[in-house]
């Protein structure tokens, strides 16, 4: 932390920090003035309606007048600070008036502490508790610029020196009291500058973080826009290549080697299209904050997805579905959630042997819906588990049959599930299998269509 003992904050941040600290100081004036008013009012009440022997104090009349004056003046600081806080952002004049009010209140607190010390104590230097307390209060709770601190010190020192002769007539004692006052003001200066440095340092750090966050957000938006445009424009030529390859396959004169090459072209196009779709989905999930959802009965919904996998024979492993006896309803986006389940089922098959099976289990426990996608394949090494939901994850691996992955699928799955208000977890043991569990909240049966954010 940089300490600004004899310097000011750098010019580029001086105005913004000045506005920030002025507003903070005005709120401090509002709070302390209210407490100060209530304290003075309480003292007057105790002196008037209780048997506390205030009359035995020296200078009781001066103390009473000082207390009454403080009780009358303090509300002006309170309501003035409230008014200035309300209109603080309107114009520069309000900020200037606010700074003046803050300095006046700081001097008001210090002179009150000084005055109480003079009234109560025979010799101020023997006990400057109230003066010291006032200086510490102002030094700790207010953030002053360097010149403001010097101004407060100058006024406080001058006031002390001018008032002192009325209560202490010995020149030697006056000199000793002035020395004690000087020591206290030096302490005040050190505390005030340290508090200023601490708050300025925190402000600069927060501002730097805000700027970095803004840069990251801007870069992320730009990345998503470029990603979406590039991915979208790549799909068209890939579709054209695949179409030409399919047309060439119909040529009866094509030999086996060329047919194999054409099949390889089609497979590569499909793989590239799948990657592009993942990139587009990632960009859309980052950009979009909402999507349409509707109420769905999950047993029928999941059974339909499983039937499509079995019918189209998208994998080597058998797929089994275990539903519930009673219907379970929830709100989902049909297309997005199908992408989630297709991805999880595809992963389960990718890491399962030909004789293995994949289980899709729907259950409801303690008011929550759980969808398990369970395989009995090769499992995930424990060291990779913390990274499997990361984008372009280091946990990405080849499947049993050599299937490749760029590490986006599970990241997309988690994005979609969380946008549904749910969560996804994974449990895996090497050579025994993996279970992905989605949890969501059920709803009562209705036919409403709503929007999730």
Sheet with 433-440: strands ordered across: 318-322, 357-365, 368-375, 433-440, 423-429
Tell the burial category of 375 from Cβ atoms under 10 Å away from its Cβ (0-12, 13-18, 19+).
Answer: buried
Backbone angles phi, psi at 336, to 5 degrees: -65, -45
Contacts of 73 by beta carbon, 8 Å cutoff, 6+ apart = 108
Q: Rounded to an integer, what distance in angstroms lies between the CA atom of residue 348 and that of residue 376?
A: 8
Give the tens place of pLDDT for each residue, 231-252. 667 778 888 888 888 888 887 6
Number of H helices, E strands in the chain: 10, 8
Task: Print burial letters for 48-87: b (CB count within 10 Å at least 16), e (below 16).
Answer: eeeeeeeeeeeeeeebbebbeebbebbeebbebbeebbee
Residue 449: the pLDDT is 45
Give the tens place of pLDDT for each residue, 172-187. 888 888 888 898 999 9
Residue 125 has pLDDT above 50, yes or no: yes
Residue 447 has pLDDT above 70, yes or no: no
Residue 122 has pLDDT above 70, yes or no: no
Q: Which of 78-92, 307-321, 346-360 has the lowest mean pLDDT?
A: 307-321
Residue 340 has pLDDT above 80, yes or no: yes
SS3 assignment, position 294: strand
As a whole-number percent, the residues of the chain with pLDDT over 70 amount to 86
Q: Which of 53-57, 122-126, 303-307, 317-321 has the lowest mean pLDDT?
A: 122-126
**Angle subtended at Cα 99 by Cα 96 and Cα 100, rounded to the nearest 5 degrees:** 90
End-to-end CA, the chain:
41
Backbone angles phi, psi at 386, to 5 degrees: -65, -15
Which string of DSSP letters, residue by residue, matches 346-404?
HHHHHTS-TT-EEEEEEEEETTEEEEEEEE-SS---GGGGGGTTSTT-TT----TT---
Question: Which run of H or E residues covers position 237?
Answer: helix 171-249
Residue 68 has pLDDT above 50, yes or no: yes
Residue 453: the pLDDT is 44
Average pLDDT over residues 80-102: 89
Residue 263 has pLDDT above 60, yes or no: yes
Average pLDDT over residues 371-375: 95
Name the pTM for this structure: 0.55
β-pairing, 318-322 vs 357-365, is: parallel
CB 374 within 8 A of CB 435: yes
């Amino acid at each position: 932390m940089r300490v600004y003992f004899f310097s000011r904050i750098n010019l580029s941040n001086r105005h913004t920090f000045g506005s920030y600290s002025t507003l903070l100081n005005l709120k401090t004036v509002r709070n302390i003035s209210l407490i100060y008013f209530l304290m003075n009012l309480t003292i007057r009440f105790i002196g008037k309606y209780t048997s506390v022997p205030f009359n035995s104090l020296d200078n009781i009349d001066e103390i009473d007048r000082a207390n009454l004056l403080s009780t009358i003046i303090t509300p002006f600081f309170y309501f003035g600070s409230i008014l200035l806080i309300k209109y603080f952002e309107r114009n520069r004049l309000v900020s200037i008036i606010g700074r003046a009010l803050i300095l006046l209140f700081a001097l008001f607190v210090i002179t009150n502490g000084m005055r109480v010390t003079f009234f109560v104590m025979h010799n101020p230097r023997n006990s400057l508790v109230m003066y010291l307390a006032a200086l510490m209060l102002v030094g700790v709770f207010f953030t002053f610029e360097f010149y403001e601190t010097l101004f407060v010190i100058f006024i406080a020192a001058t006031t002390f020196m001018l008032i002192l002769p009325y209560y202490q007539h010995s020149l030697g004692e006056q000199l000793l009291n002035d020395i004690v006052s000087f020591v206290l003001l030096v302490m005040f200066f050190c505390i005030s500058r340290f508090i200023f440095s601490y708050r300025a340092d925190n402000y600069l750090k927060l501002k730097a973080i805000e700027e970095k966050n803004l840069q990251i957000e801007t870069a992320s938006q730009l990345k998503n826009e470029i990603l979406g445009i590039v991915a979208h424009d790549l799909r068209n030529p890939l579709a054209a290549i695949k179409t030409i390859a399919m047309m060439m396959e119909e040529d009866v004169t094509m030999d086996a080697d060329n047919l194999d090459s054409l099949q390889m072209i089609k497979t590569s196009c499909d793989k590239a299209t799948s990657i592009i779709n993942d990139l587009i989905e990632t960009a859309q999930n980052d950009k979009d904050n909402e999507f349409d959802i509707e109420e769905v009965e999950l047993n029928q919904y999941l059974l339909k997805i499983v039937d499509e996998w079995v019918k189209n024979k998208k994998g080597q492993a058998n797929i089994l579905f275990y539903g519930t006896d009673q219907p379970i309803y929830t709100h989902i986006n049909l297309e997005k959630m199908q992408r989630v389940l297709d991805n999880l089922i595809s992963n389960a098959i990718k890491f399962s042997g030909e004789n293995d099976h994949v289980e899709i289990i729907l259950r409801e426990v303690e008011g929550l819906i759980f969808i398990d996608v369970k395989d009995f394949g090769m499992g995930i090494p424990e060291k990779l588990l913390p990274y499997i939901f990361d984008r372009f994850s280091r946990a990405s691996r080849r499947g049993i049959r050599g299937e490749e992955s760029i590490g986006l699928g599970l990241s997309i799955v988690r994005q979609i599930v969380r946008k549904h208000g749910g969560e996804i977890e994974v449990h895996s043991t090497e050579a025994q299998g993996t279970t992905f569990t989605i949890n969501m909240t059920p709803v009562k049966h209705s036919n409403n269509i709503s929007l999730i954010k």
